[in-house]
Amino acid sequence: MMILSGDRPRSRILSVLLLVIVVALAVTPFVFPGAKAMNVATKICIFAALVASYDLLLGYTGTVSFAHTMFFGIGSYAVAIALYAIGPSWGAVAAGLAIGLPLAALLALGIGLFSLRVEAIFFAMITLAVASAFLVLASQLSWLTGGEDGRSFTLPELLRPGTVFIPKNVLGTAITGRTLTYYIVLVGSAAMILGLLRVVNSPFGRVLQAIRENRFRAEALGFRTVFHLTYANCLAAVVAASAGALNALWLRYTGPDTTLSFAIMLDILLMVVIGGMGTIYGAVVGAAVFILAENYLQSLMGAASTAAADAGLPLLPGLLHPDRWLLWLGLLFIASVYFFPTGIVGRLREMARPQAEG
Amino acid sequence: MTDLLTLTNVHTHIGRYHILHGVDFAIPEHQTTMLLGRNGAGKTTTLRTIMGLWAASSGQITLAGQRIEAMATPDIARLGIGYVPESMAVFSDLTVKENLVLAARDGPLDDNRLEWIFGFFPALKRFWLSRAGGLSGGQKQMLSIARAIVEPRKLLLIDEPTKGLAPAIIGALIECFAEIKRSGVTILLVEQNFHVAQRIGDAVLVMDNGRIVHRGAMAALAEDTLLQERLLGLSLEAHQ
C-alpha cells in the first residue's frame, strides 16, 4: 500500500469502483477505440489530476480559489506556445514545461503571500480578479496566444496520430502516436494523483487539515499557517499547470475556451463536491461520473425515450427526450449533492465504517 | 524566585471594545498561578493576548526576559509556550495519534513522555487511532492538555480545563496538573471552579473589568471567605 501512501479507499465498494475506473482507463485504446471514447477517457484522466489538485486546496485547507483554471491554462499555453514557436520537438515540450510550471508556482506564491494571511473571502476575491485578468490577457495578446482563436501546433513526431508503431491489430487496434500520447496522459495523471495522496498523508498534509479545522489553533501550536497555505497553493498550481500541459498535448490546441473559461472552473467545483472533498480519491470518482454523464447522458436518454415510446408509456418519452439532457444533468447533480453531502467517496466511507468497527 | 512571564500595563482592544485596561502581573517560574474572575472579566483575552492571537494595543509582555508582544503567534508558541484553549479544542478530523504528532513539532513522539501522558490519561492510549471528534468531552479535554505537554514546555497557558466535566475527570486533571508542576513547568491556569483552583494553585490573580484587582498566595485567599466573597462574589459551598 506504499503506492497509496497508506491511505486506503476504506470501503470495499469504493475500492471496486476505483479499480473499475482505473482498469477501464488503462484498456480504453484497445477496448473502446473510437475517437469519442478516447477523448472522454483522456478528459477523465486530466480532470482527475486537475480536480485532485483543487481538492488539496478546497478539501484539505478549506481555501476557495477561482484561479485554478488560470494555472491549468498557464501549463497548457506554455507548452502550446513553445511547440508553436520552436517547432515540433521534445525540446519545445521541455521548454514549455520549464517555463510554465515555475511561472504557475511563482504566480501562486505571489497570490498566496499577498492574500492568504487575511480572510478566506479576500483570497477567493483576489483569485477571481487575477483569473479574470489572465483570461482577458490571453484573449488580447493574440501575437503570443493566438487570441480568441487560440494556438494550434504540431506535436513531436512520436506523438502524432500518423506515427504507427504497430500497424495492425493489437486487439483490432493499431498502436500509433495517439496511443502513446494517451498513455503519457494516463501515467502522468496517475503519478500526479499518487503524489498528491502522498502529500496529504504526510505531516504537512496533517497540518493543512489542522489549519482547515481551526487556523488560530494551528498557529498556537507553532505552525506558520501562511507558509503552509502558500506552499499548498503553489503545489496545487504546479499540478494544475502539469495537467494543462497534458491537455495541450492531447488536443494539439490551446485556447481560452479549453483551459481558462469559468465554465471549466465550475466543472472542477462540481467534480470535487460530487466526488467528495478532502479525499483525493473523490477527484477520480467525481471526474469519471461528471464527464461520463456530460458525454453519454444525452444518448442514454435518447435510447430510454425511444424504449418508453415503443412501450407506449405516457409522458416518459417527452420527459426523457435527448434535448432535455441538460435539465436531467442538473437534477442529477442536485440529487447527488442532496443524497451525498460528503460526496460519493465520503458516503461510501461512512457506509463502510460500521462494518469495519463491528 | 525569578519571574518567567511578565505583563506590564497591557491593553487589548477587540474591534471597538476595550477589553484589557492595563493588566500588570508576573508569573514566577515553576509555580502554578490561578487567574480567577467572573465571566467577562478578561481572563481568556489575557491568555489570547499573551499568545498573540489578539494583539496588545499597548504595554509589554516579556517571556524569560524577551519581549513578545509584537511577535506572531507561531513564534511565541515556539519559545516554549503550550496553550490549551477553552472548549475542548482538538482537531476533530484527525486521530488522537495525529493530534499528538502534530503538536510534537521537533520530531517523532518521545515514547517515554507518551507513557507518562498515558499514565494520567489512559483513555488516549485506548482510542489512539480513533478520530478525536468521536471522543467524549472529558477525553477531548485530556487530548487538548496532552497536546500541550507532548513536548517539554516552559510555560503552559490553560483556559478553563474543567468546564463541563464530570468530577472523576476533574480529579484526574488535578493530579495531572500537580505532576506537570512537579516536572518544573510553570502554569498559568484560568479556572472558574474555586474548589479546583485552591487545590492546584500556588499563587492567585483575580481579574475584574479587564484589570488585576488582587494578587497573592492561593492559600491566603482560600482561608479568607470574606475576601473571596468580595473579589469573586462566591461562597465556597456553591462551588463544591
- Domains of chain B by range and CATH? 3-80+153-239 (3.40.50.300), 86-147 (no CATH)
pLDDT at B84 over 50: yes
pTM equals 0.90
User: In the 8-state DSSP scheme, what is residue A154?
Assistant: P
Paired strand residues for B187 = B32, B156
Burial class (CB in 10 A: 0-12, 13-18, 19+), A93: buried
Chain A nearest-CA distance from B83, in A, is: 7
Nearest beta carbon to residue B74 from set A212, A214, A219: A219
Using DSSP's 3-state secondary structure scheme, residue B222 falls into helix
Average pLDDT, chain B: 90
- Bigger pLDDT: B224 vs B106: B224
Is A342 part of the contact surface with chain B (CB cutoff 8 Å)? no
Encode pLDDT of A57-81 as tens digits.
999 999 999 999 999 999 999 999 9
Q: Measured between beta carbons, which residues in chain B are less than 8 angstroms from residue A203?
A: 101-102
Of B183 and B236, the structure prediction assigns the larger pLDDT to B183
> Model confidence at A357, in pLDDT bands (50, 70, 90)?
very low
Which residue in chain B is spatially nearest to A211 when comparing CA positions? B91
Helices (H) and strands (E) in chain A, counts: 16, 4
* pLDDT one-digit tens code per residue, A175-211: 899 999 999 999 999 999 999 999 999 999 999 999 9
Whether residue B88 has pLDDT greater than 80: no
Residues A140-146, mean pLDDT to the nearest whole number? 94
- Hey, of B71, B73, B101, which one would you mutate to test binding to chain A, going by the most A CBs within 10 A of its CB? B73
Q: Which residue has the cell 494551528?
A: A218
Lowest mean pLDDT among B76-85, B149-158, B227-236: B227-236
- In B, minimum Cα distance to A203 occurs at B102
Least confidently predicted of A107-111, A120-124, B129-133, B233-237: B233-237
For cell 499518487, the residue is: A194
Average pLDDT over residues A89-95: 97
How sure is the predictor about B234, in pLDDT bands with cuts at 50, 70 and 90?
Answer: low
The whole-chain average pLDDT of chain A stands at 92
By the CB < 8 Å criterion, does A357 face chain B?
no
CB pairs under 8 A between A and B: 50
CB contact under 8 A, A213 and B93: yes
pLDDT at res. B87: 75
Distance between CA atoms of residues B92 and B89, nearest Å? 9
| In the predicted structure, residue A113 carries a pLDDT above the cut 70 | yes
Most confident of A14-18, A169-173, B151-155, B179-183: A14-18
Nearest to A222 among B74, B91, B93 (CB): B74
For residue B235, name the pLDDT band (cuts at 50, 70, 90): very low
Q: Is A221 within 8 Å of B147 when comparing Cβ atoms?
A: yes
Give B178-200 pLDDT, tens digit per residue. Answer: 989 888 899 999 988 888 898 88
A209 touching chain B per CB within 8 A: yes
Q: Are B59 and B228 in contact (CB under 8 A)?
A: no
Task: Please name the member of B78, B93, B147 whose beta carbon is closest to the beta carbon of A209.
Answer: B93
Distance from CA of A112 to the nearest CA of B (A): 18
Residue A2's pLDDT is 58
Average pLDDT rounded to a whole number, residues A223-230 = 93
- Contact between chains at A221 and B103 (C-beta distance less than 8 A): yes
* pLDDT bracket for residue A358 (50, 70, 90): very low
Distance to chain B for A60, nearest Cα, Å: 11
Domains of chain A, start order = 2-357 (1.10.3470)
pLDDT at A354 (0 to 100)? 59
- Paired sense of beta strands B81-84 and B3-14, if any: unpaired
By CA distance, what is B54's nearest residue in A?
Answer: A216
Give the distance, in angstroms, between the CA of residue A196 and the centroid of all CA atoms in the same chain.
13
Burial label, A168 (beta-carbon count in 10 A; 0-12, 13-18, 19+): exposed
Residue A190 near residue B48 (C-beta atoms within 8 A): no
How much is the pLDDT for A181?
Answer: 97
Determine the average pLDDT of the residues in B5-24.
95
> What are the tens digits of pLDDT across the range B110-127?
899 999 999 888 999 999
CA distance B201 to B32: 5
Q: Which amino acid is at A223?
A: F
Chain A: closest CA distance from residue B15 (Å): 16
Nearest CA of chain B to the CA of A68: how many Å?
Answer: 26
Instruction: With beta carbons under 8 A apart, name residues in chain B contacting A216.
Output: 53, 73
pLDDT at B42 over 90: yes
- pLDDT classification of A353: cutoffs 50, 70, 90: confident
pLDDT band for position A356 (50/70/90)? very low
**CB–CB contact B101 A210 (8 Å):** no
Using beta carbons and an 8 Å cutoff, which residues of B are at the interface with A? 51, 53, 72-74, 77-78, 83, 85, 89, 91-94, 98, 101-103, 105, 147
Task: Give how far B123 is from chain A: nearest CA, Å.
Answer: 18
From the CA of B103, how many Å to the nearest CA of chain A? 6
Residue A125 DSSP SS3: helix
Mean pLDDT of A90-107: 97
Helix, strand, coil percentages in chain A from 3-state DSSP, rounded to 5: 80, 5, 20
